[in-house]
Structure formats: C-alpha cells, structure tokens
Structure 1
C-alpha cells in the first residue's frame, strides 16, 4: 500500500500559540505511529513558527518509523538535517515568509544547486526527495539532480477535485508515469484529504508515500486522530 506520513506541524502551531507544551509534539508523534502511520513529517522554517529546530532533534528519539524532514536547503536547515540524519529529507523551495509551500522546484534552472545538496545528504545516508510540479520537463530535470524521489505538489489536483473536475488529475498521472519510466520514487503532498486521497491513490502509478498534515489534523478535531489515521490507511490500501 501507499505509505502515510503524518505532518505534525499543526500540532506545534497550536502548542506555540499558548506557550508551554500542550499539545505535546513528541506524544502526538508517538501516538500517530501507534495508530498505524508509517512515518512522521515535519517542516521546520527559519522563524520556527511551528516546528522548532529543537523539536527536530527531540523527535529523532521518538520516531521509529520513517522520519521525513522537509524544508528549503538553506545552511541552517542543512546543518540540522545532517545532525539529525532522518530517513528522508524533502527539499522544498519555500520563501522564508511563505505561509505554506506553494510551488515545486525548477529542476532545470536549479540543477547544479540541487545536485550538490542532494549529493551531500545521500553521502550521509539520507534518502532525498524534491518537491516538483506535475510538469514533464521538471520530472526529466529531477533525474539529472540525482534525487532518489520526487514529491508531487498536489494543490492543483485538490482544487480541481473540489470543483468536481476529475480531469485535474491528468497532469499528475502523466508526471507519475514519466517518473516510473525514469526509476524515480514518487511521493505526494499538499491539500490531500480524506475526500480526495482514495481517487488520487487509485490513479497515480508507483505512489510510494503521501505526507498529510493540515487536512488530517483538521479532520481529527471532529473525528479523533486515531480514527482519522486509520481512515487514511484504509483508503491507501
């Protein structure tokens, strides 16, 4: 089945809004794994407005499944990842003031930069993935960077699906087919939800892993996090 990695950024956002340690980020990471999630994702940003760099260090002793750290490979982020050595690092071209991720890499323009960064992480035993839009040229460019995987940026699909336009998945299918041809692993994330995840999974060949945070945590407010994690797992079978 496609693996589910739970992004716990929103748990840290809630904690930080009040101060103290409620809800406890480490306890939630332990719980989502106990409930069946295959991994934990965090996306620390330079201003530490949700996940803090120290959280990334502390989670190393808690995450016994797959540990995925996302972020823009500025020097402080690279130093953190090389210190923590997670299972996977996902490179995202975020501006420092971005509310959330909003675009994939231009893998042609940034090939040399990505190649250098990816090589350093891989030489330290860390699997790499890069955030990309569903554009065939960007998939082709990803191969030249040496990355192990790509993560398809799925906001466009999610918006189309919400509007009832099922054709919105077509670029993602073509991108995934190209990635499979090129022996690139395929991850996906951004605005995937209980409403659209089954359709997405059923149509994307070679989908290894999805990273879901905002929707999963929001849905859990109504349905409970253990229930929601297992609802996702059932849809990803």
Structure 2
C-alpha cells in the first residue's frame, strides 16, 4: 500500500497571511500524524512565502513519521538538508519565482549535477528522489544517477482524468513499470485528490508514496482534517 505524506505548505500560507502563529504548523503536522498520515512533506522556497526555514528545523525535532523535504537544490537548500537530515529529499527544478512546481527535471541535461547531489545526500543517510515526468528515457537517465526514487509529476494526469482516465494514466503506468524494472522506488505528487487518487493507485501497483497538500487541505475545510486523512488513506488501501 502506498504511503500518504501530507504537505503542510498550505497551512503555513494561511498562517503567514495574518502573521502570528495561527494556525500552528507544528501542531497541524503532529495532528496529521495522529490522524494517520505516514509522512510530512514541506517545500521551503527562498522567499519563505509559506514554509520558513525555522519551521523545517522545528518540525524535525517533533515528527515521528517520515519527513520529506522538497526543493530546488541550491546551496542554501543543500545546507538545510545537511543540517536537518530528513528521511527523504526530493529534488525539484523550481525557479525562485514559480508559484508551484510545474515541471520535472531534464535529467540528461543536468546529469552530472544530479549525480553529485545524490552522492552528497546519500552520504548523509538521506533517501533521494528526483521530481520527473513520464518520459522513459528520462527515467533511465535518473536511474543512472544512483537516486533511490523518482517522484512522478501528476498534474497532467489530474488535468485529464475527468475527460478520459484511461488515457490520462497510460503514460504513468508505463513510467512506473519502467522505473520499477530499473530498481527505482516510485513516488507521485501534484494535484492528486479524492476524485482521482484511487484509480491512479490501482493502476500503479509499485507506487510507494504520494505527497498531497493543496487538495487535502481544501477537503479538510469541509470534512475536517481527521476525516480527510482517513478518506485519503482509504483511497490508498487496495
């Protein structure tokens, strides 16, 4: 069964909109764990418009499930990973001003850089993951870096799910099978929701983990956080 990692960036966005510490990011993350989340994800960005660097250090002290830190691996991000030593680092090729992650790595063009990063992070005991699309050659290049996992960028799947879910998932099925054959673990994230998650999970039997933030927090406005996490876990329980 794929694990659910809850991205708490949106909680930090809400807190920062008003100032102060309401809602409390640490408390929400701990509640997510208590309600059944099997991991917590954060994506600190240089402008700290949601998760702050201090949040990352504070979360590391209290979390008991897997801590996943996503981000563009510039020197500041690398130092953060070295100091925090999360369970997993997910390398995402975000520009500093991007609103949300909207593309995966071109691994061949960044091959030497990614190889160095993978070696460095793994030397610190951190599991490594590369944010990537479904191109099979690109996945083959990812495997050559020595990375532990890939995270499939699922916005195209989510955007096309309602129109034709079989077509929407087809490339992901092929990508997952190819990655698994190469010995890679498989994560997925971006716009996965209660509407489209079960079908995606059914079609990708080798899926290890999903990271979900925006849709999950939006659902929690209506269902409550505990019930929402329970329902997401149910979608993954095949």
TM class by smaller structure: over 0.9
Tell me which stretches of 4 or more aligned residues in structure 1 moved more than 3 Å.
Answer: none
Q: Give me the CA root mean square deviation.
A: 0.7
Alignment of 1:124-135 (within 5 A): 124-135=124-135
Correspondence 1:97 to 2:97: yes
Q: Could you tell me which residue of structure 2 aligns to residue 112 of structure 1? A: 112
Give the secondary-structure state (helix, strand or coil) at the position aligned to 2:210: strand
1:184 is matched with: 184
- Rounded to whole Å, the distance in 2 between the matches of 1:136 and 1:125 is 28
2: CA distance between counterparts of 1:22 and 1:67?
A: 22
Structure 2 counterpart of 1:57 = 57
User: Which stretches in structure 1 are left out of the alignment for 5+ residues?
Assistant: none
Q: Deviation digits for residues 64-109 of structure 1, max 9, x if unmatched? A: 1000000000000110111000000000000000000000000111
What runs of 5+ residues in structure 2 fail to find an aligned partner? none
Total equivalences in the alignment: 237
Quote the residue 1:20 is aligned against. 20
2:41 aligns with 41
Task: Give 1:166 shift.
Answer: 2.7
Contact 1:160 1:166 in 2 (8 A): no
CA distance in 1, matches of 2:110, 2:95: 15
Q: State the Cα deviation string for residues 188-229 of structure 1 (Å, max 9, x = none).
A: 000000000000000013100000000000010011010000
Q: Deviations over 1:19-52 (max 9, x none)?
A: 0000000000100000011000000000000000
Equivalent residue for 2:225?
Answer: 225
**For residues 67 and 163 of structure 1, what CA distance do their matches in structure 2 show?**
35
Question: Please, what TM-score do these two structures have when normalized by structure 2?
Answer: 0.98
> 3-state DSSP class of the match of 1:162?
coil
Q: Which whole-Å CA distance do the structure 1 matches of 2:168 and 2:2 have between them? A: 21
The aligned runs of 1:118-157 (5 Å cut-off) are 118-157=118-157
Q: CA offsets per residue over residues 155-200 of structure 1, 9 Å max, x none?
A: 0000010334431100000000000100100000000000000000
Q: Separation in 2 of the partners of 1:166 and 1:218?
A: 26
